[in-house]
Amino acid sequence: MNLNLISTEKAPAAIGPYSQGVKADNIIFTSGQLPINPTTGELITDITEATRQSLENVKAILAEAGATLEDVVKVTIFIANMNDFGKVNEVYAEYFSNHKPARSCVEVARLPKDGVIEIEAIAIK
Protein backbone atom coordinates (compact mmCIF):
# COMPACT_ATOMS: atom_id res chain seq x y z
CA MET A 1 0.00 0.00 0.00
CA ASN A 2 1.21 3.50 -0.84
CA LEU A 3 0.59 5.70 2.22
CA ASN A 4 1.13 9.48 2.32
CA LEU A 5 0.43 11.87 5.18
CA ILE A 6 -1.22 15.13 4.08
CA SER A 7 -0.19 18.45 5.58
CA THR A 8 -1.04 21.98 4.47
CA GLU A 9 -0.81 25.43 6.03
CA LYS A 10 -4.13 26.25 4.34
CA ALA A 11 -5.96 24.25 7.01
CA PRO A 12 -5.48 24.39 10.78
CA ALA A 13 -2.71 22.28 12.24
CA ALA A 14 -3.72 19.09 14.01
CA ILE A 15 -4.44 19.73 17.69
CA GLY A 16 -3.34 16.25 18.69
CA PRO A 17 -1.17 13.32 17.58
CA TYR A 18 -2.74 12.85 14.15
CA SER A 19 -2.43 14.05 10.55
CA GLN A 20 -4.68 16.51 8.76
CA GLY A 21 -5.27 13.75 6.27
CA VAL A 22 -3.95 10.50 4.88
CA LYS A 23 -3.87 9.24 1.31
CA ALA A 24 -3.81 5.45 1.07
CA ASP A 25 -3.34 4.49 -2.57
CA ASN A 26 -6.19 6.44 -4.21
CA ILE A 27 -8.34 6.96 -1.11
CA ILE A 28 -8.07 10.21 0.86
CA PHE A 29 -9.24 10.48 4.46
CA THR A 30 -9.41 13.92 6.07
CA SER A 31 -9.34 14.24 9.82
CA GLY A 32 -12.30 16.03 11.34
CA GLN A 33 -12.06 19.75 10.66
CA LEU A 34 -13.14 22.18 13.30
CA PRO A 35 -14.13 25.68 12.14
CA ILE A 36 -10.72 27.16 12.85
CA ASN A 37 -9.40 29.88 10.57
CA PRO A 38 -5.92 28.63 9.61
CA THR A 39 -4.56 32.16 9.27
CA THR A 40 -5.77 33.64 12.55
CA GLY A 41 -6.33 30.52 14.66
CA GLU A 42 -9.82 31.83 15.50
CA LEU A 43 -12.47 29.23 16.35
CA ILE A 44 -15.67 30.32 14.60
CA THR A 45 -18.85 29.81 16.65
CA ASP A 46 -21.62 31.10 14.36
CA ILE A 47 -22.96 27.84 12.87
CA THR A 48 -23.33 29.23 9.33
CA GLU A 49 -19.80 30.61 9.17
CA ALA A 50 -18.47 27.65 11.16
CA THR A 51 -19.87 25.20 8.60
CA ARG A 52 -18.31 27.22 5.80
CA GLN A 53 -14.90 27.30 7.52
CA SER A 54 -14.92 23.57 8.28
CA LEU A 55 -15.73 22.82 4.64
CA GLU A 56 -13.00 25.20 3.45
CA ASN A 57 -10.55 23.36 5.68
CA VAL A 58 -11.64 20.03 4.20
CA LYS A 59 -11.23 21.51 0.70
CA ALA A 60 -7.68 22.66 1.50
CA ILE A 61 -6.63 19.22 2.69
CA LEU A 62 -8.18 17.57 -0.36
CA ALA A 63 -6.40 20.08 -2.63
CA GLU A 64 -3.07 19.24 -1.01
CA ALA A 65 -3.74 15.61 -1.94
CA GLY A 66 -4.68 16.56 -5.52
CA ALA A 67 -8.43 16.16 -5.06
CA THR A 68 -11.55 18.34 -4.96
CA LEU A 69 -14.98 18.13 -3.37
CA GLU A 70 -16.12 16.40 -6.57
CA ASP A 71 -13.96 13.43 -5.53
CA VAL A 72 -15.66 13.07 -2.13
CA VAL A 73 -17.66 9.88 -1.63
CA LYS A 74 -18.57 10.20 2.08
CA VAL A 75 -18.91 13.07 4.54
CA THR A 76 -19.46 12.85 8.27
CA ILE A 77 -20.69 15.91 10.15
CA PHE A 78 -20.66 16.21 13.93
CA ILE A 79 -22.73 19.05 15.37
CA ALA A 80 -23.16 20.23 18.92
CA ASN A 81 -26.84 21.11 18.42
CA MET A 82 -29.20 19.26 16.08
CA ASN A 83 -31.33 22.42 15.93
CA ASP A 84 -28.58 23.76 13.63
CA PHE A 85 -29.20 20.98 11.07
CA GLY A 86 -31.10 23.25 8.65
CA LYS A 87 -28.44 25.98 8.70
CA VAL A 88 -25.70 23.40 8.19
CA ASN A 89 -27.59 21.97 5.20
CA GLU A 90 -27.94 25.41 3.60
CA VAL A 91 -24.18 25.97 3.61
CA TYR A 92 -23.43 22.33 2.76
CA ALA A 93 -25.63 22.63 -0.35
CA GLU A 94 -23.43 25.50 -1.58
CA TYR A 95 -20.45 23.12 -1.61
CA PHE A 96 -22.26 19.98 -2.76
CA SER A 97 -24.97 21.15 -5.14
CA ASN A 98 -24.84 18.67 -8.04
CA HIS A 99 -22.42 16.14 -6.54
CA LYS A 100 -24.04 14.62 -3.46
CA PRO A 101 -21.79 12.16 -1.60
CA ALA A 102 -23.10 9.81 1.07
CA ARG A 103 -23.36 11.61 4.40
CA SER A 104 -23.99 11.16 8.10
CA CYS A 105 -24.80 13.96 10.52
CA VAL A 106 -24.83 13.30 14.24
CA GLU A 107 -25.29 15.43 17.31
CA VAL A 108 -22.51 14.97 19.84
CA ALA A 109 -22.26 15.95 23.50
CA ARG A 110 -19.08 17.93 22.98
CA LEU A 111 -16.43 18.68 20.35
CA PRO A 112 -12.77 19.61 20.84
CA LYS A 113 -12.29 23.26 21.83
CA ASP A 114 -16.09 23.35 22.39
CA GLY A 115 -16.60 23.74 18.65
CA VAL A 116 -20.09 23.83 17.17
CA ILE A 117 -19.26 21.58 14.19
CA GLU A 118 -16.62 19.20 12.88
CA ILE A 119 -16.57 17.78 9.36
CA GLU A 120 -14.54 14.92 7.87
CA ALA A 121 -14.52 13.47 4.38
CA ILE A 122 -13.40 10.47 2.37
CA ALA A 123 -12.47 11.00 -1.28
CA ILE A 124 -11.21 8.81 -4.11
CA LYS A 125 -8.70 10.27 -6.55
For 37-63, write each residue's pLDDT tens digit. 999 999 999 999 999 999 999 999 999
Question: Under a CB-based contact definition with an 8 Å cutoff, are residues 65 and 125 in contact?
Answer: yes
Question: Under a CB-based contact definition with an 8 Å cutoff, are residues 117 and 88 in contact?
Answer: yes
| Span 10-35, average pLDDT | 97
User: Of 118, 116, 44, 121, which Cα lies nearest the Cα of 80?
Assistant: 116
CA 100 to centroid of chain Cα atoms: 15
What domains appear along the chain, each with residue ranges and CATH number? 3-124 (3.30.1330.40)
State the catalytic residues. 105
What is the DSSP code string of 9-44? TTSPPPSSSS-SEEEETTEEEEPPB-SB-TTT-PBP
Strands 117-124 and 3-6: unpaired
Q: How would residue 66 be classed by pLDDT, with cut points 50, 70 and 90? A: very high
d(CA 120, CA 11): 13
Q: How would residue 26 be classed by pLDDT, with cut points 50, 70 and 90? A: very high
